[in-house]
């Protein structure tokens, strides 16, 4: 019977418990400042295979290595460009992922056969402590089922992966709320493959130029965030337009409280005061919550195309695209 295959998923704050499980080849959910990750010991190929299986993710879609310091990255890359060291000194620990040529220590399972490996230093005290004590990197995609909403709370992980993993290390709400910015180098210039809370403008202040954007897949996507339909709630969704008639069976995810006369319980606000950082932090949590309310549809207001708003809109475009094929 199927339920006999289920494991019991516990939620707790015990770093040592998470470390023991990782060392024993298990995979566990860990908090980061962006979203929760589904971690396995990077040196354990069985654990890596298990991550793909549990997440139901195609093995062609590579995983990010997570380490606790710049020094720990070095053995896993064959080249660490100076410009990346400068950016890392400025932004790490933080929501920035670097694509660099991999060393022989990195399994092809992690990079899906790519010559480059993605590495980042997450800025969450519990996970930094875990990585420090573990002494080895973990490979971790976001801890959601493939194509579904990313988790920003332990309870979101439980909803999707409960019964499939033994432990969720609870680090409370993720501070940033959307996935890391992913960068690489092409023709000696930094390019962005996934937008995140470190914006092109933030990077340009260090680089002296605005990095190019390569966030749409021409052929095979370099990053899963490039897939056209992604980050979608289970409830159908589309963009809100003020010209549309109000639908009492639908939910409305609005940016700020600019229509106080519409104090309907169907309306949720990403940030009542119109703060884009707050909107990013609340995005997935509100979509998770609205998914549970049985709405016939979710109308989402597009955010101002500035700063982190551009990264949020990029996620929203891919979510609404799923229902508007
Ligand atoms: O904020 C984050 O980056 C979160 C937390 C958990 O760290 N992780 C995350 O992982 O968003 P994931 O797997 O959901 O998205 C990572 C993206 C994927 O789109 C993957 O295709 C891309 O990074 N990626 C990873 N390794 C790569 C590689 N070697 N070459 C190209 N793209 C890579
Ligand atoms: Mg993901």
| The pLDDT of residue 204 | 98
Q: pLDDT of 147-168, one tens digit each? A: 899 999 999 999 999 999 999 9
Instruction: Return the CATH class of domain 10-213.
Output: alpha beta
Comparing 1-10, 60-69, 263-272, the range with the smallest average pLDDT is 1-10
Peptide bond into 93 cis (omega under 30): yes
Q: What does the longest C-alpha to C-alpha distance in the chain come to?
A: 61
Residue located nearest, by CA, to atom 15 of ligand 1: 141
- Summarize the confidence of residues 306-323 as an average pLDDT: 94
Q: pLDDT of 177-187, one tens digit each? A: 999 999 999 99
Alpha helix ranges (H) inside the chain: 15-23, 45-55, 70-73, 82-91, 108-111, 125-134, 154-161, 200-207, 276-291, 308-322
Ligand 1 atom with the shortest distance to the CA of 114: 29
| pLDDT value at 21 more than 60 | yes
Query: Ligand 2 centroid vs 118 CA: distance in angstroms?
Result: 13
Strand (E) or helix (H) holding 48: helix 45-55
Burial class (CB in 10 A: 0-12, 13-18, 19+), 69: middle
Q: How far apart are CA 321 and CA 237, in angstroms?
A: 9
What ligand is nearest to the CA atom of residue 171?
1
What ligand is nearest to the CA atom of residue 64?
1
Q: How far apart are CA 235 and CA 294, in angstroms?
A: 8
Residue 1: pLDDT band (50, 70, 90) is very low
Q: Is 119 helix (H, G, I), strand (E, B) or coil?
A: strand
Q: Hey, where are the domains in the chain? A: 10-213, 237-322
DSSP states of 86-99: HHHHHH-SSSEEEE
Euclidean distance between the first and the last CA atom of the chain, given in angstroms as a whole number: 38
Residue 246: pLDDT band (50, 70, 90) is confident
Ligand 1 atom with the shortest distance to the CA of 176: 1
Residue 220: pLDDT band (50, 70, 90) is very low
Comparing 42-51, 60-69, 262-271, 300-309, the range with the smallest average pLDDT is 262-271
CB atoms within 10 A of CB 77: 21
Ligand 1 atom with the shortest distance to the CA of 37: 6
Q: Which of 131, 181, 223 to mutate to test the pocket of ligand 1 (most atoms within 8 A of CB)?
A: 223
- Summarize the confidence of residues 57-62 as an average pLDDT: 95
CB atoms within 10 A of CB 216: 9
Query: Ligand 1 centroid vs 38 CA: distance in angstroms?
Result: 11
Query: Ligand 1 centroid vs 54 CA: distance in angstroms?
Result: 16
Comparing 15-19, 45-49, 248-252, 257-261, the range with the smallest average pLDDT is 257-261
Burial class (CB in 10 A: 0-12, 13-18, 19+), 80: middle
Q: pLDDT of 97-150, one tens digit each? A: 999 999 999 999 999 999 999 999 999 999 999 999 999 999 999 999 998 999
In CATH terms, 237-322 corresponds, of 3.40.1590.10, 1.10.3720.10, 3.40.50.11030, 3.40.50.2300, to 3.40.50.11030
Query: Ligand 2 centroid vs 34 CA: distance in angstroms?
Result: 11
Residue 219: pLDDT band (50, 70, 90) is very low
Q: Which of 56, 76, 179, 191 to mutate to test the pocket of ligand 1 (most atoms within 8 A of CB)?
A: 179
| The pLDDT of residue 146 | 92
- Summarize the confidence of residues 280-306 as an average pLDDT: 97
| pLDDT value at 3 more than 80 | no
Q: How far apart are CA 37 and CA 149, in angstroms?
A: 13
| The pLDDT of residue 136 | 96
Q: How far apart are CA 127 and CA 260, in angstroms?
A: 40
Residue 264: pLDDT band (50, 70, 90) is confident
Specify the length of the chain in residues: 325
Asked if residues 138 and 21 have their Cβ atoms less than 8 Å apart, the reply is: no
Residue 259: pLDDT band (50, 70, 90) is low
Q: Which residues line ligand 1 (CB under 6 A)?
A: 32, 34-35, 37, 61-64, 95, 97, 99, 111, 114, 116-118, 120, 122, 140-142, 179-180, 182, 222-225
């Amino acid at each position: 019977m199927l339920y006999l295959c289920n494991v019991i998923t516990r939620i707790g704050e015990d770093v040592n418990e998470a470390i023991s499980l990782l060392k024993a080849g298990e995979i566990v959910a860990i908090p980061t400042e962006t979203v929760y990750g589904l971690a396995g010991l990077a040196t354990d190929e069985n654990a890596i295979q298990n991550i793909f299986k549990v997440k139901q993710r195609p093995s062609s879609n590579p995983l990010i290595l997570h380490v606790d310091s710049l020094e720990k990255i070095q053995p896993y890359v064959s080249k660490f460009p100076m410009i990346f060291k400068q950016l890392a000194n400025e932004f790490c620990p933080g929501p920035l992922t670097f694509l660099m040529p991999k060393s022989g220590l990195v399994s092809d399972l992690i990079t899906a056969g790519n010559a480059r490996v993605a590495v980042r230093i997450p800025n969450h005290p519990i996970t930094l402590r875990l990585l420090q004590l573990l002494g080895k990197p973990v490979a971790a995609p976001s801890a959601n089922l493939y194509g579904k909403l990313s988790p920003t709370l332990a309870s979101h992980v439980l909803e999707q992966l409960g019964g499939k993993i033994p432990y969720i290390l609870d680090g409370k709400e993720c501070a940033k709320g959307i996935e890391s910015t992913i960068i690489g180098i092409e023709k000696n210039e930094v390019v962005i493959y996934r937008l995140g809370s470190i914006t092109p403008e933030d990077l340009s202040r260090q680089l002296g130029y605005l990095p190019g954007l390569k966030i749409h897949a021409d052929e095979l996507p370099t990053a899963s965030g490039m897939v056209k339909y992604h980050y979608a709630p289970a409830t159908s969704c589309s963009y809100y337009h003020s010209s549309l008639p109000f639908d009492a069976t639908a939910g409305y995810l609005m940016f700020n409280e600019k229509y106080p006369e519409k104090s309907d319980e169907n309306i949720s606000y990403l940030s009542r005061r119109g703060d884009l950082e707050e909107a990013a932090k609340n995005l997935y949590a509100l979509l998770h919550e609205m998914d549970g309310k049985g709405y016939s549809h979710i109308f989402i207001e597009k955010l101002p195309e500035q700063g982190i708003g551009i990264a949020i809109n990029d996620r929203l475009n891919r979510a609404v695209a799923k229902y508007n094929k």
